[in-house]
Amino acid sequence: MNSKTESDTKTSNMMDSQETLQTEENVTENVTPEVNETENQTIEVPQTQEEVVARVKELAEADAPAEKQELDALKQAFYKIHKANVAAARAQFIENGGEPEAFLPAPNVLEDEFKAAMNVIKQKRAELQAELDRQKEENLQKKQEILERIKTLSATPEEANQAYKEFKELQNQWKELTLVPAEKANELWKTYQLYVEQYYDQLKLNNEFREYDFKKNLEIKTRLCEAAEKLNEEADVISAFQQLQALHQEFKETGPVAKELREEIWARFKAASTAVNKRHQQYFEELKQKEEENLAHKTALCEKIEAIDLTAIKTAAAWESQTQQIIEMQKEWRTIGFAPQKMNVKIFERFRGACDRFFTEKASFFKRLKEEQAQNLAKKTELCEKAEALKDSTDWKATANKLMQIQKEWKTIGAVPKRHSESLWQRFIGACDYFFEQKGKNTASQRGEEKENLQKKEQVIDKLKALLESNEEENKQDAVRELMKEWNEIGFVPFKEKDKIYKAYHETVDQLFKALNMSAARRRLDNFKNNLKNDAKEGGQGLSRERERLVRAYESKRSEIKTYENNLGFLTCSSKKGSSLLNEMNKKMEKLKDELNLISEKIAAIDKEIKAAQAE
């Protein structure tokens, strides 16, 4: 009998129908707009605050009491949606340029209706509970009176035999009084079992009644054993455990069996109960293990988001790319089940905090980006105004340079708000294009003039070449100068022909001047020789002095030529300026060489005259 009462203690609280076993809590977490925590639930929760309020009002008006599980789910849903709305409004406020600390959420007009309906339900439940507590106390009093009566009936065998009918009636009354205070239920049941067994032990005169009861009780308890054993095959562990509690209640309510069978029948029922309880315990151990795995998984996601270096994200594209990764992690979070109850809210708060940190920093970035784009808009608008002020100018070269400088400045300015980008660009490029179109039209009229100038300069070159081929020396130098003056008075030629025509002109002029210089040098040498003959008739002292002077001039020219040659070794023609200087130095050096040759011929002429004078 003691083993029976010890086991029954485990399930005695099931006598109170309002104190049902909680096998699993469905907890709905509060989330940001980016996250929703979803789990498998048996209650369908509305998706909007309006639907939640409508359902709560419906429950408040119903006669039947609302289930606590549904009320908890509705309350969690209402405030989850409320927090999501506040978070979305806050993000929008920051995106529009507001400071995070200045944000104030708008009043929730539905919250008062929600609270009022919940208060009605709460009051009804309180009244129902009060009535239930009163009924439990009344039942407790009645059961105690029944116990006292059974105790009296079991005092002597005579009273037990005479009051059998009353005893059966007392048992029926006991079964009808189901609800009693939970803290009294186990002790009450033990006392009842004790007095009932004592009564049957005293019941000796009417063995037929006693044996009949024992037989009926054995049939009932055997059926309960079979039902308990069958529960071990039940797929739904929670349902099996709950059904077992009902079987335990009925087993306790059933009277005793024959004394020799009591231990046996209880051992059988206890063995079946133990099997179901083990499966129930194993189920929750596995559930706990799964929750630990879920916690590890959720912790890894938190760490992954927390590890993101927000200072390294510099562009809008990078922020959007990272946002997609965050959203994918939030989707992954939704697929993970509950963490252990004591950590479930904490880990979600950590995850939500990491997400909030990311999206707050993202909002700050785009706020700064918006400010920069506004500044860029002002700068580019100013450049548009400058371009528009220049577009009608006819100072083609200077204005073109200014516009090209403005275009370079435009490229250094960052992006503007997308809604202004295209229109602003069209405004700017329109002003630039207008000027360059007008410049192009003006340039087209200049091209005909440039072609005429090209023909005129080609004619000048032809005249210079004719002078080069002419044998007449008189007035040739003056003619060259006149043609050079005519060349300089002719305007621009087509740009692509410029280098070619200038090269032909300078080559011809250089050839002319070289020829003119050689002719002049020849005349000077002839005059020098004639003068030498006159000096020779007057005496040799003058020739010697002239020879010494020429030798000194020769050495000076040769030294100057060597200096030029050394300087040429340090010059390159990698630039236009360098090439021009190199050509100029080459011309001077050629002139010096011509002068050196002339001096050399003069010295040779003097030596010839001196030799002739000595021969005489």
- Give the residue, 158 or 592, on which the prediction is more confident: 592
The SS3 assignment for 416 reads coil
- Model confidence at 225, in pLDDT bands (50, 70, 90)? very high
Lowest mean pLDDT of 33-37, 164-168, 438-442, name the range.
Answer: 33-37
Q: At what angle do helices 341-390 and 316-335 cross, to 10 degrees?
A: 160
Give per-residue pLDDT as tens, 385-407.
999 998 898 888 899 999 899 99
- What mean pLDDT do residues 454-476 have? 80
- Two structure tokens written together for 158: 């005579």
Give per-residue pLDDT as tens, 324-342.
999 999 999 989 988 888 8
Give per-residue pLDDT as tens, 64-99.
787 888 888 888 888 888 888 888 888 888 777 777
- Give the residue, 569 or 600, on which the prediction is more confident: 600
- What mean pLDDT do residues 257-285 have? 91
Output the pLDDT for position 75. Answer: 85
Residues 262, 264, 269, CA angle at the centre, nearest 5°? 95
- What mean pLDDT do residues 450-461 have? 85
Domains of the chain, residue spans: 45-203, 206-307, 445-537, 542-615
Q: Closest by alpha carbon to 227, among 254, 248, 257, 256? A: 248
Percent of residues, the chain, with pLDDT higher than 90: 19
Q: Let me know how long the chain is.
A: 616
Up-side HSE of residue 274: CA atoms within 13 Å toward CB?
A: 8
Distance CA 519, CA 503 (A): 24
- Tell me what the pLDDT averaged over the chain comes to: 79
- Give the residue, 309 or 546, on which the prediction is more confident: 309
In what helix (H) or strand (E) does residue 249 lie, and over which residues does it extend?
helix 237-253
Up-side HSE of residue 175: CA atoms within 13 Å toward CB?
A: 12
> Distances in Å between the alpha carbon of 325 and those of 182, 304, 332, 336, 348?
53, 10, 11, 17, 18
- What mean pLDDT do residues 332-353 have? 88
Instruction: Give the long-range contacts of residues 391-394, CB within 8 A, separation 24 or more.
Output: 391/431, 391/432, 391/434, 391/435, 391/438, 392/435, 392/438, 393/435, 394/438, 394/442
Output the pLDDT for position 555. Answer: 86
- Give the residue, 344 or 410, on which the prediction is more confident: 410
CB-CB contact of 498 with 455 (8 Å): no
Output the pLDDT for position 4. Answer: 35
Contacts of 22 (CB under 8 A, 6+ apart): none
DSSP annotation of 340 reads P
- Model confidence at 167, in pLDDT bands (50, 70, 90)? confident
Output the pLDDT for position 531. Answer: 64
Q: Closest by alpha carbon to 24, among 273, 284, 244? A: 284
Output the pLDDT for position 444. Answer: 67
CB-CB contact of 596 with 553 (8 Å): no
- Model confidence at 267, in pLDDT bands (50, 70, 90)? very high
Task: List, as one string, the DSSP characters of 538-555.
Answer: H-SHHHHHHHHHHHHHHH
Query: How far does CA 578 lie from the centroid of its chain?
Result: 55
Of the ranges 109-118, 127-136, 289-298, the best mean pLDDT one: 289-298
Of the ranges 142-156, 354-368, 459-473, 514-528, the best mean pLDDT one: 354-368
Residues 474, 475, 476, CA angle at the centre, nearest 5°? 90
Output the pLDDT for position 27. Answer: 27
- What mean pLDDT do residues 368-376 have? 89
- Two structure tokens written together for 424: 């602003």
- Give the residue, 503 or 210, on which the prediction is more confident: 503
Task: List, as one string, the DSSP characters of 327-339.
Answer: HHHHHHHHHS-PP
Give per-residue pLDDT as tens, 9-61.
333 332 232 222 222 222 223 333 333 333 334 456 677 888 888 888 888 88
Output the pLDDT for position 607. Answer: 78
- Give the residue, 588 or 364, on which the prediction is more confident: 364
DSSP annotation of 18 reads T
Indicate the pTM of the whole model: 0.43
- What mean pLDDT do residues 503-519 have? 76
Q: Closest by alpha carbon to 323, among 299, 305, 297? A: 305
- Give the residue, 567 or 176, on which the prediction is more confident: 176
CB-CB contact of 171 with 196 (8 Å): yes
The alpha carbons of the chain give a radius of gyration, in whole angstroms, of 59
- Give the residue, 338 or 2, on which the prediction is more confident: 338
pLDDT(282) > 50: yes
Up-side HSE of residue 194: CA atoms within 13 Å toward CB?
A: 12
Distance CA 600, CA 594 (A): 10
The SS3 assignment for 472 reads coil
> Which amino acid appears at position 435 of this protein?
F
Output the pLDDT for position 58. Answer: 85
The SS3 assignment for 223 reads helix
